[in-house]
Amino acid sequence: MHNMKILVIGSGGREHALAWKLKQDRHHPEIFCAPGNAGTAALGTNLPIKAEDLAGLLVWARQHKPDLTVVGPEAPLCAGIADRFQAAGLRVFGPCQAGARLEGSKQFSKEVMAAAGVPTARAATFTDAAAAKTYVKKNGAPIVVKADGLAAGKGVTVALTPAEAEAAIDEALVARAFGEAGNTVLVEEFLDGEEASILALLDGEHVVLLASSQDHKRVGDGDTGPNTGGMGAYSPAPVVTADLLPFIREEIFGRMLCELKRRGINYKGLLYAGLMLTKAGPKVLEFNCRFGDPETQAVLARWEGDMIPALEACLDGTLTEALVRWKPEPSVCVVVAAGGYPGPYAKGDAITGLEAANAVPGVTVFHAGTALQNNSIVTAGGRVLGVTAIGTDLGAAVKRAYAATGEIHFKNMQFRNDIAWRALQRKKACEGC
């Protein structure tokens, strides 16, 4: 039996978490990451190939024949990497280009949701700024403005006044702040409630939900400041109560799968629903065609046993609930970012204290924007690390994550001090009930 080889594509915290989890499998696979980071370098071999370099990735894969390729980021999926690998006879976890359009085009995603009867916010699509502003005047605020294409999680504005909405429309359609991605904008109704992330495995026929989680999008404590790629997450999200799961599985994921199939799209891989839990029930804010970041770090910390059989079952059409099991302990991931993020930030600052942080019981430090430079680990991105902990209860997990974060130092580092605050507040409110 040859040693199983797995290629993980991407360089962030999500990819380090995937590589970490895959490495623990009983097959003890050999891990390759393209391009990876300082964290993945300790688990396997980093390859000097960028995640968007589809041709380069294919050349390597044809030569080295990985048994499985797991695609982290959305850009290569939207560019059709799964189709190209499949055509070359390679096994790849991630949807085909047609399926990845659910993330690549918000307009397409809305159209599929409407056809499938999936609950979501009312929306209108515009390419003309004046027409979009007229719609805002008619509907008032709060209202949400979204760039149609991939804007690295930054193309969404929740406008609290009509003036903010008009500024967001101008930013995309007039100033072209998002380039091609903002040629079309969606203006949609503001949904009130609490957000949650649900990741699900799909094999073209079956849906298996992964443990729920909640992300923290804004840079500052108390959900203040600009939006980011995500400053921390925890799992499970108590706002996703057990009674909601059948609805989410059948009325959201089941209906989407049915509609995609009707369109001739065989969706195999991960589908991620960003949900708003409104008084009228769960509604979809957006779909992503890949694992979330930092949700993946929190969710995989709780995955019990092997992950490879579940991913392979997605490709083979043999997915069952039995392939996915969860530790009862909750988890939390605190993102440590570079000063200035999500705006401009420095790179190349030395990071210390990683060993001490990893030595805290129940803690794993996932690398995101890190690199190796002359034997030392330095910052190389906006989100630098994801300090992830499990604990007997959420409070214990939070305590451990922050104890470990306190061991880590680099110049101008920043992190939120209140990850999981909604769940902790809910628990406090319930202790009296």
Domain CATH number, residue 152: 3.30.1490.20
- Same domain as 89, residue 227: no
- In a domain? residue 18: yes
Task: Report in angstroms the alpha-carbon separations of 2 from 45, 63, 202, 306, 310.
Answer: 18, 16, 28, 19, 21
| CA–CA dist 370, 335 (Å, integer) | 13
Answer yes or no: do 155 and 198 share one domain.
no
- Based on the fold, state whether residues 230 and 299 are members of the same structural domain: yes
The enclosing domain of 54 has a CATH number of 3.40.50.20
Contact 17, 296 (CB under 8 A): yes
Is residue 85 in a domain?
yes
**Spatial separation of the C-alpha atoms in residues 324 and 209, rounded to whole Å:** 9
In terms of domains, do 87 and 156 share one?
A: no
In a domain, 121, yes or no: no
Same domain for 154 and 240, yes or no, is: no
Backbone angles phi, psi at 75, to 5 degrees: -55, -50
Asked if 171 and 238 sit in the same domain, the reply is no
Q: Which of 94, 118, 152 is the last residue of a domain?
A: 94
The set of residues, in sequence order, having a beta carbon less than 8 Å from that of 227 and lying 6+ positions away, is 153, 154, 156, 217, 218, 219, 342
The pLDDT score that the predictor gives to residue 352 is 98
Residue 284 sits in the same domain as residue 420: yes
Domain, as residue range, for 325: 194-431
Higher pLDDT: 318 or 148? It is 318
Sheet with 207-209: strands ordered across: 207-209, 194-203, 268-278, 281-288
Which tops the pLDDT comparison, 393 or 175? 393
pLDDT bucket at 432, cuts 50 / 70 / 90:
low
In a domain, 290, yes or no: yes
Predicted model pTM: 0.93
The answer to whether residues 206 and 335 belong to one domain is yes
What is the distance between the alpha carbons of residues 211 and 201, in angstroms, rounded to a whole number? 11
Give the DSSP letter of residue 431: H
In this predicted structure, the answer to whether residue 1 has a pLDDT above a threshold of 60 is no
Q: Does residue 67 share a domain with residue 48? A: yes
> Residue 143: beta bridge partners?
159, 189
Residues 136 and 23 grouped into a single domain? no
Average pLDDT of the residues in 52-71: 98
Count: domains in the chain: 3
Decide if 334 is inside a domain: yes
Final residue belonging to a domain, choices 94, 118, 146: 94
Mean pLDDT of the chain: 94
List the CATH number of the domain containing 302: 3.30.470.20
- Predicted confidence (pLDDT) at residue 433 exceeds the cutoff of 60: no
Span 336-368, pLDDT tens digits: 999 999 999 999 999 999 999 999 999 999 999
Summarize the confidence of residues 287-316 as an average pLDDT: 97
Same domain for 41 and 138? no
Distance CA 303, CA 291 (A): 14
- Residue 364 and residue 281 share a domain: yes
Q: Provide CB contacts within 8 A for 298, sequence distance 6+.
A: 213, 233, 234, 235, 331, 332, 333, 388
